[in-house]
Amino acid sequence: MGLIWLGLAAVALWALVRLGRQTERARRGHWRISATILSAALLAGAVLAAARGAWLIGGGMALAGVWLAVQSRIRPAAPKVHPSERMSEAEARAILGVPLGADTQTVQAAWRRLMARAHPDQGGTEGLAARVNAARDRLLKG
């Protein structure tokens, strides 16, 4: 009987640790939490069924619990989108400070002026430099 309780405690500890590591957006996180609770219940049921001698039912429940736990951990890869494709032309012009219909030389001059301050080697940040680069790319490409 002590082995059954040890198995149930291990399943409960696994579920608590896994629930503590949930770092997802709300919509996806609810699915992961529900799947963890259901898989923990299936694994606990498998331990109880196996302890009572129902090996086939216990094995099926264990397989279902493990499958559900693994499937809930799979995360779809986010599509790689260049920052300049997410930025509107108006936003790019506002970042560089150029007027509507600015020519290539004006855009390049504004980019050089801003990169002199925004570059990480000059005391700026990588994020700011990336936004300035994305704004230049957006205006020159489109």
C-alpha 16: how far from chain center? 21
Structural domains in the chain?
2-73 (no CATH), 83-141 (1.10.287.110)
Question: In terms of residues, how long is the chain?
Answer: 142
Please determine, for residue 1, whether its predicted confidence score (pLDDT) is greater than 70: no
Q: Which residue has the tokens 């980019």?
A: 111
Interval 96-111 mean pLDDT: 91
Which letter, b or e, does each residue of 93-113 get, where b requires 16 or more Cβ atoms within 10 Å of its Cβ? bebbebeeebeeeebeebbee
pLDDT digits (tens, 9 = 90+) for 12-61: 777 666 666 555 555 555 667 777 777 888 888 888 888 888 889 888 88
Longest dimension (CA), the chain: 81
User: Which two structure tokens, joined as six digits, stand for 114?
Assistant: 């801003």
Cα 60 to Cα 69: distance, rounded to the nearest angstrom: 14
Residue partners of 18: CB distance under 8 A and separation at least 6? 36, 69
The pTM of the full predicted model, rounded to 2 decimals, is 0.43
Residue 131 buriedness (CB in 10 A; 0-12 / 13-18 / 19+)? buried
The helix/strand/coil state of 3 is: helix
